[in-house]
Structure 1
């Protein structure tokens, strides 16, 4: 089993309101470059309550996908994990095969916009 962690998650509720494409969100981008499907489980942790039950996803062989984090932020048909806005959270991502995973945050609360993106490394 391969495991990745994102300790600092936070989806802001506020946006500059210019258009739906400008909605702030967080996302997990996944690349499965293997010839077999990947069975993925994502667990969401909070500081003040029990974690969510793991949400399961299947990533097809030699494919990429994006999982949007947030209750109202599903964009362009991507998969989605329902996390409330304005509430800190952490992620534990597990897979049965090694994957390439990138975590991205888009913050639109300021008209200047902010983008943060990091590659995750498995334990």
Structure 2
């Protein structure tokens, strides 16, 4: 299968609520980058997080195996530093081969959960 997508993606709007309601981990408030790799080769992916009031953090390095998808929760990113809760941020995702990126947020701060999803901007 050919590699669909682009090598650079941007999520300009990011925010992980500090708390949530409901059963964990299913209803933990979170942000996710859903990364699809349709090619026959593993994608080496690096994420850099940008903030309004401090220097960027990254790269966070992940591999998306050939012909697989990875739903990467920003809450789970720890190295080089955890993504802070309750803080506005943006993210640049760079891949060694073309991939497709979709952004999703689950906000479970109230019993009536909100789910937002959008395709990221590609370059």
On whether the aligned pair clears a TM of 0.5, the verdict is yes
Q: Tell me what 2:73 maps to.
A: 68
- TM-superposed deviation, 1:100: 1.3
* Among candidates 20, 36, 45, match of residue 15 of structure 1: 20
Runs of 4+ in 1 over 2 A off after TM superposition: none
How far apart are the structure 2 equivalents of 1:24 and 1:105? 7
How far apart are the structure 1 equivalents of 2:114 and 2:58? 30
- TM-superposed deviation, 1:32: 0.5
Q: Does 1:45 align with 2:38?
A: no
RMSD: 1.4
Residues 2-36 of structure 1: CA deviation (Å, up to 9, x unaligned)? 211111100001212x2212111000111101011
Q: Tell me what 1:111 maps to.
A: 111
Structure with the larger strand share: 2
Q: Does 1:98 align with 2:98?
A: yes
How far apart are the structure 2 equivalents of 1:109 and 1:122? 30
- TM-superposed deviation, 1:86: 0.4
- TM-superposed deviation, 1:41: 0.5
Partner secondary structure for residue 101 of structure 2: strand
Partner secondary structure for residue 14 of structure 1: coil
- TM-superposed deviation, 1:53: 2.2
> Normalising by the residue count of structure 2, what TM-score does the alignment of the two structures yield?
0.86
Question: What are structure 2's unaligned runs of at least 5 residues?
Answer: 1-5
* Among candidates 28, 32, 37, match of residue 32 of structure 1: 37
How far apart are the structure 2 equivalents of 1:45 and 1:109? 24
How far apart are the structure 2 equivalents of 1:100 and 1:53? 20
Work out the number of aligned pairs and report it: 114
Question: What are structure 1's unaligned runs of at least 5 residues?
Answer: 75-79
